[in-house]
A = this chain, B = another copy of it.
Amino acid sequence: MKESLTYRDAGVDLDAADRAKRSLGPLLDAASDENTLSGLGAFGGLYAVPGGLAQPVLVSSADGVGTKLKVAFLTGRHDTVGRDLVNHCVNDILVQGARPLFFLDYLATGEMDEGVVSEVVGGVAAACRENACALLGGETAQMPDFYAPGEYDLAGFVVGVVERARLVDGSAVRAGDRLVALRSSGLHTNGFTLARTIVFDRMGLGVDEEFPGENASAGEVLLRVHRSYLGALWPLLERGSIRAMAHVTGGGIAGNLPRVLPVGLGARIDCGSWAVPNVFIRLAEGGGVALPEMYRVFNMGVGMILAVSPSREAEVLRVLGDEAWGVGEVVDGEGVELVGGG
């Protein structure tokens, strides 16, 4: 007679899943708002379309955290990756002029470690609150023999809204417009497969060892949270001061800025206008990575680029303070020319 099998024998613990799910209830409640009409346990999350918009347009984006997660696994610190995810998604819809309404996450693990699940989702919920965005729901999947023990993948989806007449689509951009850069907080969530190879293999650092030139460990430097630009840029968006915005993610400045420029326009970026942060310099040195490749993979210190009319540049720089600087201009042609710098 064969031994009788249960789901748990096969590696899926429904009771642990129920407990993990229930523990997320308070996180969802704390990250809800007056338009949230559902709680934990609903098949779908309910969110009332905010009133007061003549032609509301929903703006939505999906993203993951990439292999930055591997750094979280190495350090055992799981409360930052959810913030990376939310802030990344919020920036992606902000560039079209949208403010976030709600967020959902997808967390897939090999085994259901309730502590890790609630640390990860706790980070998601905290960032949702910071971005005035409801955490409307999500999926926590147990997939044994799929993810290595202690590992997980994390993806997220944001929905925001913008009045149709206030969509920022770059169509107002003209040659001669000024480009303004906003500082990044570090690697954000791109280039981690290369960065990890350099830091852990080439430089031979452990996650807890001090990163050269930083008063912080390698793990801390790599895990620095992706900035949300919502708070900094919203006042300017409300005034209509911005003609286009590009979030500098995979592909770097040259891979992202053209996505928001009209056909026939390009950009000249003055790479001497800012000091590339230490972390990127050490990565280039440690990996012997050529500069063009560095600018293609990493943000190099620039997390967001705005296009503004010349008459608005001074105002924009004043509002943004020392987070921002003039980084170049829009030119006839196409593509991005990186000039000057090291």
* A14 and B197 contact, CB distance less than 8 A: no
Q: Does A293 have its Cβ within 8 Å of any Cβ on chain B?
A: yes
Enumerate chain B residues within 8 angstroms of A160, measured Cβ to Cβ: 44
Assess whether B146 is in contact with A70, with CB atoms less than 8 Å apart: yes
Q: Are B167 and A46 in contact (CB-based, < 8 A)?
A: yes
Please judge, given known A-B contacts A5-B287, A106-B64, whether A59 and B41 are in contact too, CB under 8 Å: no
**Cβ distance A12 to chain B, nearest Cβ, rounded Å:** 5
Bound-state CA distance A191–B159 (Å) is 30
Partner of A42, one of B11, B153, B157, B259: B259
**Residue A61 CB within 8 A of the other chain:** yes
Binary B-proximity of A261-293 (CB < 8 A = 1, otherwise 0): 000000000000000000000000001111001
Complex interface bits, A61-97 against B, C-beta within 8 A gives 1, otherwise 0: 1111011011000000000000000000000110110
Contacts of A67 in B (CB 8 A): 143-146
What is the interface size of chain A, counting residues whose CB is below 8 A from a CB of the partner?
88
Q: Which of B63, B139, B288 contacts A3 (CB 8 A)?
A: B288
Supposing A47-B60, A49-B58, A57-B47 touch, asked if A193 and B157 sit within 8 A by C-beta, the answer is no
Q: Judging by beta carbons under 8 Å apart, are A95 and B202 in contact?
A: no
5-30 of chain A: CB within 8 A of chain B: 5-7, 9-12, 14, 17
CB pair B288–A62 under 8 Å, yes or no, is no
| CB-CB contacts below 8 Å: A99-153 with B | 101-102, 104-106, 108, 136-139, 141-146, 151, 153
Given the interface pairs A193-B7, A194-B7, the reply to whether A62 lies near B157 with Cβ below 8 Å is: yes
The 4 closest A-B pairs by CB, nearest first: A157-B157, A5-B287, A44-B93, A106-B155
